[in-house]
Amino acid sequence: MMSEATAQTFRVSFDENNQEFSIVGSMRPQHERDLAGCVKLFEQSLQSVRGTLYVNVKRLVRLNNIAFRVLANLLLKAGGERDDLKISVITSSVVGWSTRKFNALSDIRPNIVIEEYDNEFYPGQAFLEEGGFIPILRTQTKMTWRHERGILPRHGLKPGVVMADICCGIGDFAVLAFKEFAPARIVALDHSKSSLAYARKVAADFGIQGIEYVYGDASEMLLEENQFDFVTCRHSLQVFDRPELILKELLRICKPGGRVYITNEKNSHCLGEPRGESIQWTYNEVARVWAHFQMDIELGPKSRRYLLDAGFENVMMESFMVTNLDGDPQDFADIIRSWERVYAGEMAVQRGDTPEFIERFRQGFQDHVFAALHPKGYAGWPIWVASGRKPL
Ligand SMILES: C[S@@+](CC[C@H](N)C(=O)[O-])C[C@H]1O[C@@H](n2cnc3c(N)ncnc32)[C@H](O)[C@@H]1O
């Protein structure tokens, strides 16, 4: 059982510039009067607000009935007395109960609006969370692992460390790292419920205990700070429109002296022979399609700058090339075909590209497959690995 002191650990604040009243933590008072400070700050804040008042409860993880009653009364009273005001309550799907609970208030007062901020919170979300990405990730990890298993120890992965894999996707990497390096524990977090369901099933099928799969938003995690020796975030800074927010969080949860390890691509540097020109054209276009959805698939070589700007030290960087000569060329051909399905079949279509453009776009992928399977051909996909240490 929690002690009273830890049961009620929350912070309230008001940001006047953004007209945002925030509550963070666990709000479980014994009596309504225990929330007098919160009530007073809310009432004071209200006086200066015009237009929209934002009430941010994204990181309010627990709330007992006494606290909900107090908050509900405050919001309903404000909504009733100030009909000039829109009250926008910002919830998160990561805190399971919150949208449902606050929605009850908007049924009573129409000027109280509940917005689940991570419902559509980054432009590529639909492709990544519900699109055809799962088969891509499986084969990609299989091919990159051949290289990364040798690279990871140079960046600090070793037996016994406490590790986090943030934006873990379908969890293959966490399973491979767990088997090969025997960390003490891995927390693997993602915002795709279908990917996490898949990951949990894979871990159960392999009888793996010691990986904890968590639903969350990497740019606002509920994980505590300074708890991991080694934090990985692979191929994901490039899909989120504000990678610096994720890096800030990776730094926060890493222990001082621990390391954060990231991998990213630069797709315009994919290559192949024969048919090099058509291949080059298509991958330049891949970068443009991604940029259209505010994702930067060219981020790889920028990793060093990102890590230094985020406050890391001792930044190390290297690159490797996945090719058709690593194992079975058919594996690489399968990856290219799944890129074609998502990039030409889903993303270009959604961007509104013409059939002529899509045909040429597809041709480059098909030529890349041709190069990968050609008896004298060569096809490559470069990846950049970088890691930085959190200062002591
Ligand atoms: C390209 S996939 C990479 C997955 C995995 N790391 C791998 O290498 O196979 C990107 C992943 O990032 C996740 N993601 C993107 N933004 C996120 C966020 N803000 N919070 C948590 N997960 C996020 C997506 O759901 C997706 O699973």
Alpha-carbon gap, residue 164 to 160, rounded angstroms = 13
What is the structure's pLDDT at 128?
80
Across 33-58, average pLDDT: 95
Question: Which carries the bigger pLDDT value, residue 119 or residue 276?
Answer: 276
What is the structure's pLDDT at 131?
65
Whole-number Å distance, alpha carbon 269 to ligand 1 midpoint, is 22
- Determine which residue's CA is closest to atom 13 belonging to ligand 1: 167
Across 257-278, average pLDDT: 98
Whole-number Å distance, alpha carbon 50 to ligand 1 midpoint, is 38
**And the tokens for 169?**
């996707």
Across 90-110, average pLDDT: 92
- Determine which residue's CA is closest to atom 4 belonging to ligand 1: 169
What is the structure's pLDDT at 8?
67
Q: 4-116 architecture in CATH?
A: 2-Layer Sandwich (3.30)
- Determine which residue's CA is closest to atom 26 belonging to ligand 1: 169
Which ligand 1 atom lies nearest to the CA of residue 140? 9
- Ligand 1 binding residues, C-beta < 6 A: 122, 128-129, 137, 141, 167-169, 173, 190-192, 195, 217-219, 234-236, 239-240
pLDDT 10s digits, 138-189: 889 999 999 999 999 999 999 999 999 999 999 999 999 999 999 999 999 9
Q: Which residues pair with 63 in a beta bridge?
A: 27
Whole-number Å distance, alpha carbon 242 to ligand 1 midpoint, is 13
What is the structure's pLDDT at 72?
96
Q: What is the pTM of this model?
A: 0.91
Whole-number Å distance, alpha carbon 128 to ligand 1 midpoint, is 7
* pLDDT at 1 > cutoff 80: no
CATH code of 125-389, in short, is: 3.40.50.150
Beta strand residue intervals within the chain, DSSP E: 9-15, 20-27, 52-56, 60-63, 86-91, 112-116, 162-166, 185-190, 211-215, 228-234, 254-265, 271-273, 313-323, 378-389
- 107 burial (CB, 10 Å; 0-12 / 13-18 / 19+) is exposed
Q: Which of 94, 234, 236 for a ligand 1 pocket mutation test, highest count of atoms within 8 Å of Cβ?
A: 236
Query: Taking all residues of the chain, what is their mean pLDDT, rounded to a whole number?
Result: 94
Q: Which of 128, 141, 189, 237 for a ligand 1 pocket mutation test, highest count of atoms within 8 Å of Cβ?
A: 128
* pLDDT at 258 > cutoff 90: yes
Q: For residue 272, which amino acid is it?
A: G
Whole-number Å distance, alpha carbon 168 to ligand 1 midpoint, is 6
* pLDDT at 2 > cutoff 70: no
**And the tokens for 100?**
């449902």
Across 209-213, average pLDDT: 94
Alpha-carbon gap, residue 390 to 176, rounded angstroms = 25
What is the structure's pLDDT at 220?
94
Domain parsing of the chain, residue ranges: 4-116, 125-389
Q: How confident is the model at residue 33 (pLDDT cuts 50, 70, 90)?
A: very high
* pLDDT at 232 > cutoff 70: yes
What is the structure's pLDDT at 127?
81
* pLDDT at 247 > cutoff 50: yes
What is the structure's pLDDT at 276?
98
Question: Which carries the bigger pLDDT value, residue 309 or residue 118?
Answer: 309
pLDDT 10s digits, 371-391: 999 999 999 999 999 999 999
